[in-house]
Amino acid sequence: MEQSFIMVKPDGVQRNLVGDIVQRFENKGYTLAAAKLMTIPGEMAEKHYDELKDKPFFDSLISFITSGPVFAMVWEGENVIAEARKMMGTTNPAEAAPGTIRGDYAVQVGMNVIHGSDSQESAAREIDLFFDKSEIQSYEKNVTDWV
C-alpha cells in the first residue's frame, strides 16, 4: 500500500493544528503508520530539503523548519501521495483553495503549516530519513473495506 511522509511544520504545532490535521487524514480514510513529535537537527533538515539548496529562501527555510518541534507522520492508503497534496493545497497559501489545509490555515509561503511528499521517490527517501523501520506499524483496520 502507498505511503506518504506528512509533517506538521513548527508553525502548525505552535498554532495547535496537529489535531485538526490528523483528523483530516483519518476522516479521509487513511491509516496512520507512524508519528512523532521531534525537533529536526540542522543536518537532517538540509538533507530533507536538499533539492532546494540553491534557492534564495533555503537558509530561511532551514532555520524555520528547525526552529521548534514538528509532528512527523507516515500515512498509508490508496493514492495517498497525490491525495495528500490536494488536501494540503498549493505551496503558496495565497493561491490555495479554501477547504485545503494551507487555504484554510496559512497566509504566507514561508509558514505554510504542512509538508507532504510530492512523489513516490521523495516519499521513500523522506520516510527513510525520518523513521527507523521499527517505528513504522503495519496493520489492518476493518473499516478499510468501507473506504
Residues marked as catalytic: 115
By CB under 6 A, tell whether 57 contacts ligand UDP. Answer: yes
In angstroms, give the least distance from the CB of 59 to ligand UDP. 10
In angstroms, give the least distance from the CB of 89 to ligand UDP. 9
Q: What's the one-letter identity of residue 91?
A: T
For the chain, state the CA radius of gyration: 15
DSSP conformation class of 41: P
Of residues 2, 109, 125, 144, which one binds ligand UDP by CB under 6 A?
109
Of residues 14, 39, 91, 137, which one binds ligand UDP by CB under 6 A?
91
User: Which grid coordinates belong to 127?
Assistant: 520516510
By CB under 6 A, tell whether 115 contacts ligand UDP. Answer: yes
By CB under 6 A, tell whether 46 contacts ligand UDP. Answer: no
To the question of whether residue 91 is assigned a binding role by annotation, the answer is yes
Q: How far apart are CA 89 and CA 113, in angstroms?
A: 11
Residue 66's SS3 state is coil
By CB under 6 A, tell whether 3 contacts ligand UDP. Answer: no
User: Which grid coordinates belong to 4?
Assistant: 506518504
Q: How far apart are CA 143 and CA 146, in angstroms?
A: 5
Beta bridge partners of 80: none
Q: Which residues are annotated as a binding site for ATP?
A: 9, 57, 85, 91, 102, 112
Q: By the criterion CB under 6 A, which residues form the site for ligand UDP?
A: 52, 57, 61, 91, 109-110, 112, 115, 118
